[in-house]
Amino acid sequence: LTSDHVRIVEVGPRDGLQNEKKSISKETKIQLIERLANTGVTTIEAGSFVPAKWVPQMASTAEICEHLLTSPPLSQHAITYNYLVPNVRGLENLVKIMEGTGVPAESAGSASKPATTTEVSLFAAATEAFSKANTNCTVAESLERIKPIVALAKTKNIRVRGYVSVALGCPYEGPEVNPSKVADITATLLEMGADEVSVADTTGMGTAPRTMELLQTLKAAGIANTDLALHFHDTYGQALVNTIVSLEHGVRIFDSSVGGLGGCPYSKGATGNVATEDLIHTVHSLGMHTGINLEEMSRIGSWISEVLGRENASRAGKATLAR
């Protein structure tokens, strides 16, 4: 990958759908993932192994995961499918499915099956109040909970992504989240063995100056841009501004959801992630590459918004289709 290549992590099927009140069928979710796999995107968050009583919409993850392992969507390139695991039990449930299908974490693929990688995401938060709401434990306890998950993932050769939520604002503690705290948690996750950490603006409260301050704090703490992803929710319409700041700083991995789907159950009023179509448009406008077909991504954003009966939140997606 060159320095002008931006890797987009498509989080729509997980972050985008987890907060939808109306139950979405497994078939629709699989169709969404299959269509995404054909856009050129290389990482797709496919679900969460969390208790159904915490996030009912993700209850079909086990079946979706089994389907993706046994019948991976046709695509021109290798795809990483990612699952959130909140505890060892979540990872064990994933491993059971992997071992049942006999598909390894890094599958080379064959003439009829594209290569796939299975990856997990663990999550911690930068504030105590959000940690309690999202994972029912303190920040320190959540880091303790994460240790054995990373250890088990490593023995199974599963790539690990970490998340640090509320890095630029907390629904309970306000916008002034301490960037040093974010850097400490990010460094701890990397030391524990995470392959990459996604720093998340859960509430969309981040501004350009505070994003810059956070990035400088992460850098001062020795965190390399290659180990870092940014995850912007677009609640205040600042996600692309903050993306530009991050691109200038050298970050090359960004999370987004098609059609700007989403919201967070524990962050009242938070809207979706930055729309993937908007992110692609911005990156391409800078002469940088994503490897993703904007037209096809725009068609998917329009289709899934219609299926969910919601407004398509991607401006670039709507404009692309109107051309």
- Binding to Mg ion by residue 234, rule CB under 5 A? no
Shortest distance in whole angstroms from residue 16 CB to Mg ion: 9
Q: Tokens at residue 133, please?
A: 């709401």
Choice from 6, 12, 14, 15 touching Mg ion (CB under 5 A): 15
Q: Rounded distance, CA 298 to CA 127, Å?
A: 35
264 has catalytic annotation: yes
Picking from 75, 100, 154, 78, the residue whose alpha carbon sits closest to that of residue 122 is: 154
86 binds, among Mg ion, ligand HMG, none (CB under 5 to 8 A by kind): ligand HMG
Report the residue number, 196 or 320, with the smaller CB distance to ligand HMG. Answer: 196
Picking from 317, 252, 263, the residue whose alpha carbon sits closest to that of residue 43 is: 252
- Binding to ligand HMG by residue 123, rule CB under 6 A? yes
Report the residue number, 55 or 294, with the smaller CB distance to ligand HMG. Answer: 55
Residue 262 contacts residue 233 (beta carbons within 8 Å): yes
- Binding to ligand HMG by residue 51, rule CB under 6 A? yes
- State the residue number with the nearest CB to Mg ion: 15
Q: Rounded distance, CA 126 to CA 167, Å?
A: 6
Q: Rounded distance, CA 121 to CA 129, Å?
A: 21
Shortest distance in whole angstroms from residue 322 CB to ligand HMG: 30
Catalytic residue among 65, 137, 170, 264: 264
Shortest distance in whole angstroms from residue 56 CB to Mg ion: 17
Q: Tokens at residue 9, please?
A: 């992590």
- Binding to ligand HMG by residue 15, rule CB under 6 A? yes
Name the one range near ligand HMG by CB under 6 A: 102-110, 132-140, 182-190, 217-225. 132-140
Residue 263's Cα: distance from chain center in Å?
A: 13
Beta bridge partners, 45, equal 82
Residue 204 contacts residue 193 (beta carbons within 8 Å): no
Q: Rounded distance, CA 319 to CA 147, Å?
A: 45
Q: Rounded distance, CA 99 to CA 113, Å?
A: 18
**Of residues 143-202, which lie at the interface with ligand HMG (CB under 6 A)?**
163, 165, 200, 202
Residues with catalytic function: 264
Site for ligand HMG, rule CB under 6 A: 15, 18, 48-51, 54-55, 84, 86-87, 89-90, 93, 123, 134-136, 163, 165, 200, 202, 231, 233, 264
